[in-house]
C-alpha cells in the first residue's frame, strides 16, 4: 500500500558542491507546491542524529539559488556508520514526524541512506552533489560544471604568467580517484599533458611530450594532474623529476585545492538542481524509494542506490586523444 507522505526532510552530506543550495530550494519548493511539509536537516547525518531540524517553507529558500556552499551545512558523519548512530537518527526522524528524506551528496552519503532504508524501511531519495562527477547513473553531478568553469578560469590566469616567464606548470586539481575534472579542464584550457588515475601515462612519455613542446616553440607548458593520478608521484615530486631530467625547464607547481568547491553555481548547475529537486520529491510522493535521481539522455532518470554506488562513471577516453592532437 502506498504510504502517504506528509513530511519530507532534506540534508546535504559529504563534501559541499556548488548547486547544493539550488537543490535544497528545489526540494523545499516542490514540497510546498504539493502541500507537503519540509524540514531542513542541519550538518548532514550528524544533525539527523542530533535532531537538528528546521521547518522550511517556500520563502525560507529565497535568494539562495546563486549561492555556493550549503545553507544547511555539511558533514562526513562517522556516527551514522554505526548501528547506534542510525537508530538515534531514526528515533529523531520519527519524533519529528518526518516520513521520508532527500539526501544531497556523494556515494558515501548514498551508502548511508541505502543502509538506513534497509534497516528501518524508511523512504529515501538521493540527489548527486559532488564536484568529482564520480557517480554512476548521471552524466553530471551537481557542482561538476561549476568546478570545471572555475578551474578553467584559473588555469587561463596561470597560463598568462607561465607564458611571460617561459615556464612549465604542474597544476593539481581535485576529483578524488577519478579524472573527470582533470581531463575536461585539460582540454578546455589547452594543457600540454593531462595525468589522470584512469590512464598511466608514465614518466618517460611525459618527458618525451615535454621535450616535443619545447622544440616546437611553445612559450609555456601546462600539465594538469588529477589528485588521484596513477603515475604515483605528487605534483612536487613531478616538478623535481622534470627539473632533474630537463634542465631547460623552469618549473612551478600550483595545487588548486578547495577553491574548486566554492563559488556561485553555473546556470547549468542551477537548472540541473531544480530539475533534480522536483524529480526527487515527486518520486517519493509516488511511492519510490532507494533511488538516486540523475541526468540521462537529457532527461531525469532514477538509478537504484546500489547501482549508483557500485557502478563506475566512465571517463571519455576519446578526450585524451583529442587533447594529444590539440597539444601538438
The binding site for ligand F6P (CB under 6 A) comprises: 15, 106, 130-132, 174-176, 227, 261
Least distance (Å) between residue 12 CB and ligand F6P: 13
| Residue 130 among known ligand-binding residues | yes
Distance CA 271, CA 174 (A): 24
The distance of closest approach from Cβ of residue 198 to ligand F6P in the complex, given in angstroms and rounded to an integer, is 15
227 is in an annotated binding site: yes
Determine if residue 43 is labeled as part of a ligand binding site: no
Instruction: List b or e across 203-241, with b for residues whose CB sees 16 or more CB atoms inside 10 angstroms.
Output: eeebeebbeebbeeebebbbbbbbbbbbbebbbeebbeb
CA distance 35 to 56: 12
H or E segment and range at residue 281: helix 267-285
Helix, strand counts (H, E) of the chain: 11, 11
Q: Which residue is catalytic, options 132, 134, 229, 269?
A: 132
Closer of 98 and 113 to ligand F6P (Cβ): 113
Rg for the chain, CA atoms, rounded: 22
Catalytic, 132? Answer yes
Q: Was 167 annotated as part of a binding site?
A: yes
109 annotated as ligand-binding:
yes
Cell of 50: 542530533
Residue 71 CB, nearest approach to ligand F6P (Å): 18
Residue with smaller CB distance to ligand F6P, 99 or 227: 227
State which residue, 45 or 53, has the beta carbon closest to ligand F6P.
Answer: 45
What secondary structure does DSSP assign to 129-181, as a single string?
B-TT---TT-S--BTHHHHHHHHHHHHHHHHHHHHHTT-EEEEEE--TT--HH
| Binding-site annotation, residues | 15, 25-29, 76-77, 106-109, 130-132, 159, 167, 174-176, 190-192, 218-220, 227, 252, 258-261
Q: Which residues are catalytic?
A: 132
Q: Which residues are annotated as a binding site for ADP?
A: 25-29, 159, 190-192, 218-220
Q: Which residues are annotated as a binding site for substrate?
A: 130-132, 167, 174-176, 227, 252, 258-261
Amino acid at each position: 500500500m502506498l504510504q502517504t507522505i506528509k513530511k519530507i526532510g532534506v540534508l546535504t552530506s559529504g563534501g559541499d558542491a556548488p548547486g547544493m543550495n539550488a537543490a535544497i530550494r528545489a526540494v523545499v519548493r516542490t514540497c510546498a507546491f504539493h502541500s507537503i511539509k519540509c524540514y531542513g536537516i542541519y550538518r548532514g547525518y550528524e544533525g539527523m542524529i542530533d535532531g537538528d531540524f528546521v521547518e522550511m517553507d517556500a520563502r525560507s529558500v529565497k535568494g539562495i539559488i546563486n549561492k555556493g556552499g550549503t545553507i544547511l551545512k555539511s558533514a562526513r558523519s562517522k556516527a551514522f556508520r554505526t548501528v547506534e548512530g542510525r537508530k538515534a537518527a531514526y528515533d529523531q526522524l520519527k519524533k519529528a514526524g518526518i516520513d521520508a528524506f532527500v539526501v544531497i551528496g556523494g556515494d558515501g552519503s548514498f551508502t548511508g541512506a541505502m543502509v538506513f532504508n534497509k534497516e528501518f524501511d524508511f523512504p529515501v531519495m538521493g540527489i548527486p552533489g559532488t564536484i568529482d562527477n564520480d557517480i554512476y547513473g548521471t552524466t553530471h553531478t551537481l557542482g561538476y560544471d561549476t568546478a570545471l568553469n572555475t578551474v578553467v578560469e584559473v588555469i587561463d590566469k596561470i597560463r598568462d604568467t607561465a607564458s611571460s616567464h617561459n615556464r612549465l606548470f604542474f597544476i593539481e586539481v581535485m576529483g578524488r580517484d577519478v579524472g573527470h575534472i582533470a581531463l575536461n579542464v585539460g582540454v578546455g584550457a589547452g594543457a600540454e599533458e593531462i595525468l589522470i588515475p584512469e590512464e598511466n601515462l608514465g614518466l618517460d612519455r611525459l618527458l618525451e611530450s615535454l621535450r616535443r613542446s619545447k622544440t616546437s616553440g611553445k612559450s609555456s607548458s601546462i600539465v594538469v594532474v588529477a589528485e588521484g593520478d596513477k603515475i604515483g608521484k605528487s605534483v612536487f615530486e613531478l616538478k623535481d623529476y622534470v627539473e632533474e631530467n630537463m634542465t631547460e625547464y623552469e618549473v612551478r607547481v600550483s595545487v588548486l585545492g578547495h577553491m574548486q568547491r566554492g563559488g556561485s553555481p553555473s546556470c547549468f548547475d542551477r537548472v540541473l538542481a531544480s530539475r533534480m529537486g522536483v524529480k526527487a520529491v515527486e518520486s517519493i510522493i509516488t511511492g519510490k524509494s532507494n533511488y538516486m535521481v540523475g541526468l540521462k539522455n537529457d532527461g531525469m532518470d532514477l538509478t537504484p542506490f546500489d547501482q549508483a554506488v557500485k557502478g563506475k562513471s566512465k571517463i571519455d577516453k576519446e578526450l585524451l586523444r583529442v587533447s594529444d592532437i590539440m597539444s601538438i
